[in-house]
Structure 1
């Protein structure tokens, strides 16, 4: 299953995606407000847990690929977090720092909202944000 937005390709992760995703999910800067994957093995387990959720619930984060470069730039989408259950469906994303400030997060989130609105079994969609105390150019 391949989904497409204006500038992004979204697809479920494959085993070969673990290494490029670990560069993001294991990066202290990219993951500074959430749990960072400590090893490639942990990253593989993390991806597998989300894929079990996809089979069970019909949604899980996608590999986020920049169409122009065909580069993996993130992991995110519409999902129920298998590591912090009970919040219901949410939108989340983790992008490589070099992808920040380009509007990719907004593009991904808007696509997720469209998908969520089509789902009759999700009456509420949640998103969480970490407040930023100081603005830095190119931050997001």
Structure 2
């Protein structure tokens, strides 16, 4: 399933996307608050493993395209992390540094929460943010996530958003 917002196209990754994704997923500075891929092969493996999980779960991170430019600017979405399992459905996002501060993370997370609420409906969606990543913490709070606790072994704050039946709110 592809998802469109006013400025973004969220679509399934293709192996041909990997070099563009590696520009930031492999950039130690861009990924300073999380894991950076050490090689193009490692990035390709990350994308392939998540795509395998998409076939199993029905969801996984998307390649994020800026519609106005038609270029890859990010990678993220809903997933059950195959590399750190046991946290349930999570949302995560990673963007090229050239687009930081443009509100794309908030737009992408809002689209993900729409997919989570309908049709997926997991009991909750979780997210992690590094203590030094104030921007990511703001994105999560804006999307209705609440701080649960600090997870010392990950050096991250754990956030969650419970499923919301928005049909009942009207």
Q: Secondary structure at the match of 2:81?
A: coil
CA RMSD of aligned residues (A): 1.6
Gaps of 5+ in 1: 136-140
In the alignment, what sits opposite 1:96?
A: 96
Structure 1 ranges of 4+ moved more than 2 A: 131-135
CA displacement, residues 82-105 of structure 1 (integer Å, 9 cap, x when unaligned): 100000001100001111000000
CA 1:131–1:2: 2 relative to 1, 3 Å: same
In the alignment, what sits opposite 1:138?
A: none
Distance across 2 between alignment mates of 1:30 and 1:125 = 24
Distance across 1 between alignment mates of 2:21 and 2:79 = 17
Aligned residues between the structures: 135
In the alignment, what sits opposite 2:59?
A: 59
In the alignment, what sits opposite 2:25?
A: 25
Larger gyration radius, structure 1 or structure 2: 2
Name the structure where strand makes up a greater proportion of residues: 2
Q: Secondary structure at the match of 1:83?
A: coil
After TM superposition, the score normalised by the length of structure 2 is 0.75
- Greater RCO, CA 8 A, separation 6+: 1
CA displacement, residues 50-109 of structure 1 (integer Å, 9 cap, x when unaligned): 001100001100000001111100100111111000000011000011110000000000
CA displacement, residues 89-131 of structure 1 (integer Å, 9 cap, x when unaligned): 0110000111100000000000111110114551111112122
In the alignment, what sits opposite 2:40?
A: 40
Gaps of 5+ in 2: 136-170
In the alignment, what sits opposite 2:145?
A: none
After TM superposition, the score normalised by the length of structure 1 is 0.91
Q: Secondary structure at the match of 2:127?
A: coil
What is the deviation of 1:39?
Answer: 0.5
CA contact (8 A) 2:76 2:94 kept: yes
